Amino acid sequence: MEFVYQCVKHQPVMSYKRDLLLHQKKSRAAVILGWVIMVLAVLWMLIEYMQDEPVQVFEWIFAVAFFFNGLVTLMGGKGYSADRFFGKAFIRIDEKVIRVKSAIMAREQRIRWDDILYIRYRTNRYEIKLKDNTVKYLYLSKLHFFIVQEIKRVIDDLARKKGITSQ
């Protein structure tokens, strides 16, 4: 009901920021599991080190990987996303530029409002024709419905303000 009310009482939005990486819920079980995995990795290396034979390189690599697995599990239990160590995923729209980085490994797309001739929404994507007659696409198919609606609203408002044809 609140969403309908917001649509009726529409106020222009001039910027939009959205972090696309999901925030994890805290979990006591994941914290405990993370600690257990890390302790097992350390104990295993201590036992290997105390034996008369030298510790193999593979065992060191395996123990370090096991320890980091426990650390990532622990961080997830505390509510931190491990994905944030590897990159960002976001949408930022303001009066100067549209910036979209839909996934951690995806390349960031930047389109300046001054370069746009027209912008057209198609199902789950924007078709943007630039003044140099090239066409760029902003794909929105991996986003939630409400996020797509927010993006459409912001782009329509900014296009209207800048005198850009929007369909």
Rounded CA-CA distance 30/117 in Å is 50
Per-residue model confidence as pLDDT tens digits over 43-98? 988 888 888 778 788 888 988 999 999 998 998 888 887 777 788 888 899 889 99
In this structure, are residues 48 and 55 in contact, taking their beta carbons and an 8 Å threshold? yes
Give the architecture (CATH level 2) of 2-22+87-166. Answer: Roll (2.30)
Residue 147: which pLDDT band, with cuts at 50, 70 and 90?
A: confident
Task: Return the closest-CA partner of residue 139 out of 113, 117, 114, 121.
Answer: 121
* Whether the predicted pLDDT of 38 surpasses 90: yes
Tokens of residue 159, six digits: 């296009």
Task: Return the closest-CA partner of residue 139 out of 112, 106, 94, 164.
Answer: 106
Cα Dmax for the chain: 78
User: Domain-by-domain residue ranges, the chain?
Assistant: 2-22+87-166, 28-80
Residue 4: which pLDDT band, with cuts at 50, 70 and 90?
A: very low
What does pTM read for this prediction? Answer: 0.66
Neighbour count for residue 99 (Cβ, 10 Å): 16
* Whether the predicted pLDDT of 25 surpasses 90: no
* Whether the predicted pLDDT of 39 surpasses 90: yes
Per-residue model confidence as pLDDT tens digits over 115-146? 999 899 988 888 999 989 899 998 888 888 88
* Whether the predicted pLDDT of 29 surpasses 70: yes
Residue 100 phi/psi, 5° resolution?
-135, 125
pLDDT the model gives residue 13 = 61
**How far, CA to CA in Å, does 16 sit from each of 40, 92, 97?**
45, 6, 11
**Of 24 and 118, more confident:** 118
Neighbour count for residue 116 (Cβ, 10 Å): 20
User: Identity (one letter) of the amino acid at 152?
Assistant: K
